[in-house]
Structure 1
Amino acid sequence: MGVSRAEATYLAGFVKGGGRLVILSNGYPASNELLSYMGINASFTNATIIDPAFNAMNQYLPIAVMLNNPVIAANASFIALNNATALRINSSFIPMAVTSPSSNSSLGPGPLPVAAGLPYGKGYVILISSPAIFMNSMIGEYGNARLLKSLCIGSTAFLAANLPSRSPPHLVRVAVYGLWSLLSAFPINYLASLAPLIIAILLNWVKSNRST
């Protein structure tokens, strides 16, 4: 089951009104379908990135360099990826993170874009091609936790990763970690930024389970 046009229309309105849509995916068809419905000329490829030289543990955990950008505050210098794929984006996108020159994929050698933002109405659509970076096993690596905070602070964040998902444990971990970190470090009003994320997770989970 893919993303419906009604869901895409809702998300488009959310972003145009000033929201921030963060899509975490490494090539799941529904994510690209969502981009198409929103009129965005970009895609998550299935070209897995490896980096034998600049990685967190092995070549499938490449390290990406965060770039200064107007989309979010770049509080992290590096982020550790897990099973990331290359993004296919156009010049309308603002690059936010790229892999090293020693990285490679079936699309060609690095540097390869793995995070990028697109101005969309009054808000931004942000693509990140490594859904696993906010899992428990990855959140403490390099600047992953700081990236999560930067994505959630300052405006509403709505995350959609590899939709639809019958069992989205990594997204639940994102929500739990985000709530814990924001509660411990920031005023309570920032917690509201994660509400759409939690609602999206629960609604998608319930919807998927009912369809089986």
Structure 2
Amino acid sequence: MRRAAYAIMLAFGIFLLVMPISVPVFHTSADFSVFNTNWNGASKFGKLLYEESRVVPVITSYNSFDLSERKGVLLILGPDMRYSPLEVGEVKNFLNNGGTLVLIDDFGTGNDILEGLNLSARFLGITPIDVFYSKNYNFPEVVRILDPQLGIGVDKLILNVPSAIIGANGSIYTSKVTVVGNNQRELPVMSEVKYGKGKIILFADPSVFINDMFDENEPFIRNFVRYLNADTVYIDEAHHSNFNPYAVGTLVIRRSLDRVKAFYVVLAVAVTAILVESGLALKGVGKILELILGKIFKEEEKSLDEVIEKLKKEGYDESILRKMIKEIETGKKLGG
């Protein structure tokens, strides 16, 4: 009977190690969301981030998330909801503590943060026109990538209705014949600004990172992810106005047997069997119960003086009591 019980314990332990795990799968239709697998989502970009870093989605306000107390990279991609002063304060403290802000925007609400941080850098908010483009002028091609780490294996970077950055130097520029209004000049598409103990990376086209543009820009996107060099990336999903995650099913993860864990399961069952069969387990339980009961029921020992004092109060003669005790101690008989 006991052998059957041990066999069941062993089988159950192994089963827990190899049983499949069902994980719910969520999607959203929000633009630029890493949970969106459609053309306008950034799920492929999110997958690259996950391969290089620990990814934590932020789906609540920064002050509720306690951003200022965290370390790592805050990545904001295509925000379209305003940032409160409290949230900007959290970003400021996050940067002062050594964090990195990656703000990728064009016509959204990213300037709320830059203004709140009292920076001169801004997203231009309009689309510059360049004579070098891919499909049409909405898809300008950028080849001037000054940072060698970002330019590895990149012949060109194709933008998609981009903005530009003003008030800061850049590491990636449009061509020198780019037209903005009545002016013709090169404009930064990517800039990096020091802030406190941290830094801010600005990029003026979130569409570069969407699934529809991924194949064309994959070498650059991979370089960009490595450039971040982050242990933890906090991805802002809270400032996508139509972020509406919904479950579309479950992902079943099948696991192979881990030999080390299986060994520990066998060892645990073997130790249990030895303890039970040898009676050590029962003795151990008995000792524990004995200690517990002893603590509960053990009476405090009283001194002879305390006993005599108690009997004295009940009317006994103290001298007679002490004489009786003395004779008991010396082995004499009463009256001897």
TM-score > 0.5 by shorter chain: yes
Q: Give 1:8 deviation, angstroms.
A: 0.8
The aligned residue for residue 34 of structure 1 is 113
The aligned residue for residue 280 of structure 2 is none
Q: Give 1:145 deviation, angstroms.
A: 1.8
Q: Choose which of 1, 10, 15 in structure 1 pairs with 2:95.
A: 15
2:108 matched to 1:24?
no
- In structure 2, relative to structure 1, the CA distance for the partners of 1:160 and 1:67 (3 Å cut) is farther
* Contact 2:163–2:189 (8 Å) recurs in 1: yes
* Contact 1:21–1:158 (8 Å) recurs in 2: no
Q: C-alpha separation between the residues in 2 aligned to 1:153 and 1:67?
A: 18
Q: Secondary structure at the match of 2:126?
A: strand
Amino acid at match of 1:68: D
- Gapped regions of structure 1 (runs ≥ 5): 173-212
C-alpha RMSD over aligned residues: 2.7
The aligned residue for residue 51 of structure 1 is 130
- In structure 2, relative to structure 1, the CA distance for the partners of 1:84 and 1:6 (3 Å cut) is same
Q: Give 1:122 deviation, angstroms.
A: 2.0
- Greater percentage in strand: 1
* Contact 2:190–2:201 (8 Å) recurs in 1: yes
Superposed CA offset, 1:158-211 (max 9, x none): 5659x8321259xx9xxxxxxxxxxxxxxxxxxxxxxxxxxxxxxxxxxxxxxx
- Greater percentage in helix: 2
Amino acid at match of 1:42: A
2:162 matched to 1:84?
yes
Q: Choose which of 101, 105, 117 in structure 1 pairs with 2:176.
A: 101
2:188 matched to 1:117?
no
Superposed CA offset, 1:97-149 (max 9, x none): 10112322226223111110101122211111111110011122244323431
The aligned residue for residue 3 of structure 1 is 83
Q: C-alpha separation between the residues in 1 aligned to 2:84 and 2:216?
A: 35
- Gapped regions of structure 2 (runs ≥ 5): 1-80, 246-336
Amino acid at match of 1:134: F
* Contact 1:22–1:158 (8 Å) recurs in 2: no
* Contact 1:20–1:157 (8 Å) recurs in 2: no
2:226 matched to 1:150?
yes
Task: Give TM-score, length-normalised by structure 2.
Answer: 0.43
Q: Give 1:157 deviation, angstroms.
A: 4.4
Q: C-alpha separation between the residues in 1 aligned to 2:242 and 2:172?
A: 28
Larger radius of gyration: 2
The aligned residue for residue 194 of structure 1 is none
Q: C-alpha separation between the residues in 1 aligned to 2:90 and 2:199?
A: 15
Q: C-alpha separation between the residues in 2 aligned to 1:45 and 1:107?
A: 15
* Contact 1:96–1:116 (8 Å) recurs in 2: yes
* Contact 1:63–1:80 (8 Å) recurs in 2: yes
Q: Secondary structure at the match of 1:137?
A: helix
Amino acid at match of 2:166: R
Q: Secondary structure at the match of 1:3?
A: coil
- In structure 2, relative to structure 1, the CA distance for the partners of 1:10 and 1:121 (3 Å cut) is same
* Contact 1:47–1:106 (8 Å) recurs in 2: no
